[in-house]
Structure 1
Amino acid sequence: MNFLIDAQLPPALARAIASEGHDASHVCDLDMTSAPDLEVWNEALRRGAAIVTKDEDFILLGRASSGTEVPAVVWIRIGNCARKALLAAVMPILPTIVEMLDGGETVIEIR
């Protein structure tokens, strides 16, 4: 599975996902830390990656893109927390996230 981690999330999340055998890049790895959402969206499409984000704008972009190709979005709706707490919330459910993405889900909310 291929993931593109958005700027509001730490690069450590990309590293942790990659350590589980997935392709995961953080936008900072691609010199896209300040890139507009549409640019990140298009990069995810180019890479065939699911966007991992805290940003609702990607959900809205998906709704506005009816009839066109859209990247999957893993929408992390956990409030502000330390990196350790974020990783503790996401990494145990990563296999389920991958399974859902493989099954064709286009939006996965993590609360």
Structure 2
Amino acid sequence: MHFLIDAQLPPALCPWFEEQGHTAAHVADILGGQCPDRLIAARAAQDRAILVTKDDDFRLRFPPEDYQLLWLRCGNITNRALRLWLDARWITIEARLQEGDRLVEVR
């Protein structure tokens, strides 16, 4: 799987996804800073990427019809805590994405 990490998440999250056996890129590296959400959603669809975000705008304004959305509902936490939070949930997340779920909301 290929993941596109949204701007409000740290670029340091990319290596975590790579450690899980997937590829990942950060929006800032692909589209630059301050990129509109509609372009991010379009890029996720174009690249057949799973968009990883904490932003509910994607669910509301750009629903994942042509891409998959991994919506993290963890609040503000440190990078280390975020990786640990994902570690504890990864088996379920990965299974749902592989099953083709368009929206995976993680609490």
Instruction: Identify whether the pair has TM-score above 0.5, normalized to the shorter chain.
Output: yes
> Which residue identity is paired with 1:56?
D
Structure 1: which amino acid aligns with 2:94? V
Show CA shifts across 1:3-58 (max 9, x none): 10001111111111012210111112214331100100011011100100000011
Task: Tell me the equivalent position of 2:79.
Answer: 83
Aligned residue number for residue 8 of structure 1: 8
Instruction: Give the RMSD, CA atoms, in angstroms.
Output: 1.5
- Provide the secondary structure at the position in 2 that maps to 1:70: coil
1:92 aligns with 2:93: no
Report SS of the residue matched to 1:33. Answer: coil
Alignment of 1:1-111 (within 5 A): 1-60=1-60, 61-62=62-63, 69-111=65-107
Which runs of 5 or more residues in structure 1 are unaligned? 64-68
Which residue of structure 2 lines up, in the alignment, with residue 66 of structure 1? none
Count of residues paired in the alignment: 106
Q: Which amino acid aligns with 2:76?
A: N
Distance 1:47 1:94 in 2: 22
Q: Does the CA-based 8 Å contact 1:17-1:91 persist in structure 2?
A: no
Amino acid at match of 2:54: K
> Which structure 2 residue ranges, 5 or more long, are not aligned?
none
